[in-house]
Amino acid sequence: MSAVREARLVLADGTVFEGEALGATEGAHSGEVVFNTVMSGYQEVLTDPSYAGQIITFTYPHIGNYGVTAADDESRSVFCRGAVVRDLARVRSNWRSETDLRTWLVERKVPVIGGVDTRRLTRHIRRAGAMAAAFGTAPRSELLELARSEPGTAGVDLVSEVTTDAVYTAGSGPWNVVAYDLGMKKTMVRRLAEFARVTVVPASTPAAEVLALEPDGVFLSNGPGDPEMVEPLVGELGTLLGRVPVFGICLGHQVLALALGGRTFKMKFGHHGGNVPVRNSDTGRVEITSQNHNYAVEAGSVPGVEETHVCLNDGVLEGLRAPGLAAFSVQYHPEAAPGPHDSRYLFADFIELMAAARAGTAAGAR
């Protein structure tokens, strides 16, 4: 057994949590601390590009018990700044497992602090709000100074760090979809590829280049950080809206809202979990959803749209549509499967919207 390496997590408000250094945790590492409430799916969370700039706190106390497999990676790398856990499993048990989480974290040089009372940390974030922090083996004073100098995610362009460098394609379905990669999860690509030939383009791609591909529809993916930092794409959407159906998810939802004249805001501690209840205003049905966002669209701020979904935990706007422009979006992740598949119908709605556009009708997404 290797010797325990003491480490600390120091929040910008001075609160200190003692723990053990795991993985590549020597020195000091900083970011904005958020918490995620999932009990499984830790590999998908760690590889989700939407966590760029953030330190992920897992509220569930036992992480890593079923190991990891390359098939569950959601991106080409790990973009989060690190992770905070209560207990990192030493033994993995699952037929799909290829290695243990501890080894996987070391290989990817992900800093981790373990042995932390993550429930206490979560309660603190809920009261005080998501805030900058630093952790590692460095002295407390150094960690505090680093935490207080950490810019967080507001006003920072994180999309440019995670978007694809080059255009690529996937799938061979009957529909031609161009997907803007704002930090796109692989599951989104796979889901779209089930019914379309998907051309994934960088976030900076001009609308003219997208239209030259003659798409049946345009998809706006998830991604990290402040939607106002994606201003170039907001402007390009003005050229696309009304000419081709548009479907946005998560950051894509926020970017679409801004392009339609709406406003966004930073939430106190965001939504990060796999069991968030959302009501569909059209049907009255409640969907159990997977979510990961620190920013949201201000309800009532987007002119000319129908607000289609609302979070039952706190009333946050979770969906909208602009029927006259053949565009709609949701804040949550219908491609994810936190257990139920309640929201998969949204991809069928996208197909219906593209079919209506191809037929020259003015039908809108339900």
Q: Please report where in the chains the tokens 């945790």 appear, as a residue.
A: 25
Band (2; pLDDT cuts 50, 70, 90): low
Is 335 assigned a catalytic role? yes
DSSP label at residue 2 = P
Determine the average pLDDT of the residues in 255-279. 94
Band (339; pLDDT cuts 50, 70, 90): low
pLDDT for residue 337 is more than 80: no
The architecture that CATH gives domain 6-149 is 3-Layer(bba) Sandwich (3.50)
pLDDT of residue 364: 44
Q: Which of 212, 213, 219, 255 is nearest to 350 (CA)?
A: 219
Average pLDDT over all residues of the chain = 93
Report d(CA 102, CA 179) in Å as an integer: 34
pLDDT for residue 274 is more than 70: yes
Is 311 assigned a catalytic role? no
Answer yes or no: are the C-beta atoms of 342 and 325 closer than 8 Å.
no
Q: Which of 293, 271, 273, 179 is nearest to 227 (CA)?
A: 293
- CATH numeric code, 159-359: 3.40.50.880
List, for residues 277-307, the tens digit of each pLDDT value.
999 999 999 999 999 999 999 999 999 999 9
Is 333 assigned a catalytic role? yes
Answer yes or no: are the C-beta atoms of 196 and 176 closer than 8 Å.
yes
Indicate the domain borders of the chain.
Answer: 6-149, 159-359
Report d(CA 62, CA 294) in Å as an integer: 25
Determine the average pLDDT of the residues in 14-28. 91
Catalytic one among 124, 250, 293, 309? 250
- Give me the helices (H) in 77-139, please: 101-107, 118-128
Dig out the tokens for 72 from the structure: 């569950």
Determine the average pLDDT of the residues in 111-138. 95
Catalytic one among 32, 236, 318, 335? 335
Report d(CA 295, CA 316) in Å as an integer: 10
Report d(CA 247, CA 249) in Å as an integer: 7
